Amino acid sequence: MTEQKAWQAAFDVIASLEDNGYEAVIVGGAVRDSLRGHMANDVDVATNAVPEEVKRVFTHTADVGIQHGTVLVIHPMSPVEVTTYRTEGTYQDHRRPDQVQFVSSLVEDLKRRDFTINAMAMSGDRKIIDLFGGQEDLKNGVIRAVGEPIERFKEDALRMLRAIRFSAQLGFQIDDATFQAISRQAQDIRFIAVERIKAEFDKIFTSEHPENAMYNIQQSGLAPFLPGEYRHQASYWNHFKASEDARKGWAYFCLLQQPQDSQMMHAFKCSNNEKKQVDEIIKAYQSLISTGWTKKDYFTFDLEILKTAYEFANNFGKTIAQPKSLIEIEKIKSSLALQKKSDLVITGHDLIEWSGRKSGPWLKESLDQILTEILENRLKNERQQIKEWLLNERTH
């Protein structure tokens, strides 16, 4: 639904620009994805109108990337990014420049794009403009640089990782000459800000074919210039079931480091939230493969974390006595005597009152012990029973 609205909005925007004497087309990922039978959400429009002219045609606009020639047109169905035809001027330090040059021809704009499958346009009357054989490459599942690959990667080294990311998202092969150019220019990836590299990894980790990316990173020689270790990764990623949450992929990647390593996430500038979630998965995984899960583990970890850790243990061929299935995890977790800490019928205050002791480290220990006893069904979650247990049976 939202996809259809985005397309309708883009075609409306094109019609308005044309009515005002300008040229406009849909470009980039949306064209590629629609030819593959996928309706993209981001439908970008390119035009020969300069930003000031675009703003005059539409009543509601927002400046989102005016330095790159992009104006956001607030169409009632869906906002549309409208970007003036441009080249990227001169590249410095193997990065895309901050300054761009507007050009009047669509051909120039398509030439500066990275891959043939990303360099097609669609006109208002739904005709495909394909100057570099993008449709053929799409049909054959090939990622091929537009123009001379070595030059294109020298201009902007991120494109090497983009090629690899698309190989993972689309399940495509990288064309030979393009792949060789990556091998040749691999060291230039050092010039790219790690935040942008991380963003590509997030996309790899949520893609259908991360094994392609892992294989290509290793084979192309990019690996030594990126954080992390890539040897022997590809075959493990064959079994990885991606989710929309990249953190699952980051956890898998950390577990596959030799030795296992989550510190590597610092080098990628992952957020604290991402690191925390990944550490949880790793903890759950380790407790599963070393001692098996206690009731306390089932209680402590979220269902998603448990399921992920279980899936990883299976991927890595670990023998696990229990649980036997994902369903069993759900059953065990949902039948626990307590679902959350606040289900406990007593508080620290009760323990202080009953024991006559002052607050101290013993309090947390006792609460913890009570929790475990109840989860293991050795103690009922009832005030009187807990009081008796505290006064008679507490072990220390």
Note the residues at the interface with ligand ATP (CB under 6 A). Answer: 28-29, 42, 96, 113-114, 118-119, 156, 158-159, 162
- Report the candidate in 284, 295, 380 with the shortest Cα–Cα distance to residue 331: 295
- Residue 42 binds to Mg ion (criterion: CB under 5 A): yes
Tokens 């392609």 identify what position? 212
CB under 8 Å to 2, separation ≥6 — which residues? Answer: 41, 78
Q: Shortest approach of ligand ATP to residue 33 CB, angstroms?
A: 7
Q: How many residues bind Mg ion (CB under 5 A)?
A: 2
- Report the candidate in 262, 370, 253, 251 with the shortest Cα–Cα distance to residue 306: 251
From the list ligand ATP, Mg ion, none, partner contacted by residue 137 (C-beta under 5 to 8 A by kind): none
150-186 burial: b if 16+ Cβ within 10 Å, else e? bebbbbbbbbbbbbbbbbbbbebbbbeebbebbebbb
Q: Shortest approach of Mg ion to residue 41 CB, angstroms?
A: 9
From the list ligand ATP, Mg ion, none, partner contacted by residue 94 (C-beta under 5 to 8 A by kind): none
Q: Which residue, 158 or 386, has its beta carbon nearer to ligand ATP? A: 158
User: Of the ranges 3-11, 39-47, 336-344, 385-393, which one interacts with Mg ion (CB under 5 A)?
Assistant: 39-47
Pair of tokens at residue 202: 């997030």
From the list ligand ATP, Mg ion, none, partner contacted by residue 159 (C-beta under 5 to 8 A by kind): ligand ATP
Q: Shortest approach of Mg ion to residue 30 CB, angstroms?
A: 8
The span from the CA of 71 to the CA of 372, in Å, is 58
Q: Which residue, 157 or 379, has its beta carbon nearer to ligand ATP? A: 157
Among 29, 133, 147, 227, binds Mg ion (CB under 5 A): 29
Pair of tokens at residue 228: 């992390």
| Beta-bridge partner residues of 174 | 143
User: Of the ranges 22-30, 65-73, 85-93, 352-360, which one interacts with Mg ion (CB under 5 A)?
Assistant: 22-30
From the list ligand ATP, Mg ion, none, partner contacted by residue 167 (C-beta under 5 to 8 A by kind): none
Beta strands at 61-65 and 142-143: parallel, antiparallel or unpaired:
unpaired
336, with CB counted inside 10 A (0-12, 13-18, 19+), is middle
Q: Which residue, 108 or 311, has its beta carbon nearer to ligand ATP? A: 108
The span from the CA of 242 to the CA of 245, in Å, is 8
User: Of the ranges 13-21, 35-43, 189-197, 300-308, which one interacts with Mg ion (CB under 5 A)?
Assistant: 35-43
Q: Which residue, 159 or 247, has its beta carbon nearer to ligand ATP? A: 159
Q: Interface with Mg ion by CB under 5 A: which residues?
A: 29, 42
